Amino acid sequence: MKSIVILISGRGSNMEVLLDAVLPGRIAAVISNRPGSPGLALAASRGVATSVVDHKAYPDRAAFDAALAEEIERHGPDLVVLAGFMRVLGDDFVRRFEGRMMNIHPSLLPAFPGLDTHGRALSAGVKLHGCTVHFVTPTLDNGPIIIQAGVPVFPSDDTPRLAARVLEQEHRIYPQAVRWFLEGRLSLTAAGTVRLEGDREEGASLCVPALDPAP
């Protein structure tokens, strides 16, 4: 059975969704870079092994990355899942796990990489916002896209309201992406994009705001 290691920094709401999901694999461990992460207690209560690799205990990013990689490898995972892991990982670390490390980002990449995605989406006046699961590469928030989900942006939205609606979609698509990986249905094309085995092309379209009815 394939196994997963989840990396968190805080409460880990996406981690919790993965713990609750019925996946064709097992969650071998949850690792945090912060000793007080609430998600650690939650994972431990579910019988999942937990550990801390405190970034403050290391003199630089390279030393932290090396210690984190060693702790991950101790569990021999097939997939590493970032679930609210708030550290930028170095190129050597990312290449070590490239093709088997996923992240979820709260925007429709390549739009709004980095932080404050919901505020920036509102400032830009976009009509459709959302979230993206992607493979991690050395370029921040720029890896091959696995799955995306969109939400309409309403005139009454503020940042918390929009963020909550996007988070609901994160909780839907992250377990799906992990499931596809564990089932062996994801592959990279020569162009560096993700191909899903069995994907259906049905020609659907989406307009936000909705089009007026035909006269």
Domain at 47, CATH number: 3.40.50.170
The per-residue pLDDT for 199 is 86
Q: Are residues 28 and 83 in the same domain?
A: yes
Residue 25 lies in a domain: yes
Q: Are residues 5 and 82 in the same domain?
A: yes
Q: Are residues 9 and 93 in the same domain?
A: yes
Q: Are residues 81 and 119 in the same domain?
A: no
Q: Are residues 38 and 84 in the same domain?
A: yes
Q: With beta carbons less than 8 A apart as the criterion, state whether 32 and 52 touch.
A: yes
Q: Are residues 77 and 115 in the same domain?
A: no
49-53 long-range CB contacts below 8 Å, 24 or more apart?
49/75
Backbone φ and ψ for 126, nearest 5 degrees, come out as: -65, 150
Question: Using CA atoms, how far apart are residues 43 and 203, in angstroms rounded to an integer?
Answer: 41
Number of domains in the chain: 2
- For 74-158, where are the alpha helices, taking DSSP H only? 91-96, 117-124
The per-residue pLDDT for 206 is 80
Q: Is 105 a catalytic residue?
A: yes
Residues of the chain short of pLDDT 70, as ranges, are 203-204
The per-residue pLDDT for 182 is 98
Q: Where does a domain end: 67, 97, 127?
A: 97
Q: Which of 55, 75, 105, 129 is catalytic?
A: 105
The per-residue pLDDT for 73 is 98
pTM over 0.75: yes
The per-residue pLDDT for 123 is 98
Instruction: Find the domain containing 152 and state its range.
Output: 104-197
DSSP letter string, 155-200: TT--HHHHHHHHHHHHHHHHHHHHHHHHTT-EEE-TTS-EEETT--
Residues 92-137 have pLDDT tens digits of: 999 999 999 999 999 999 999 999 999 999 999 999 999 999 999 9
The per-residue pLDDT for 176 is 97
Q: Are residues 61 and 86 in the same domain?
A: yes
Q: Are residues 76 and 18 in the same domain?
A: yes
Residue with tokens 């690799």: 53
Q: Which two three-digit tokens encode residue 37?
A: 């992460």
The per-residue pLDDT for 58 is 98
Q: Are residues 43 and 89 in the same domain?
A: yes
Q: Which two three-digit tokens encode residue 209?
A: 């705001």
Q: Are residues 72 and 139 in the same domain?
A: no
Degrees to nearest 5, angle at CA 193 with 152 and 128: 10
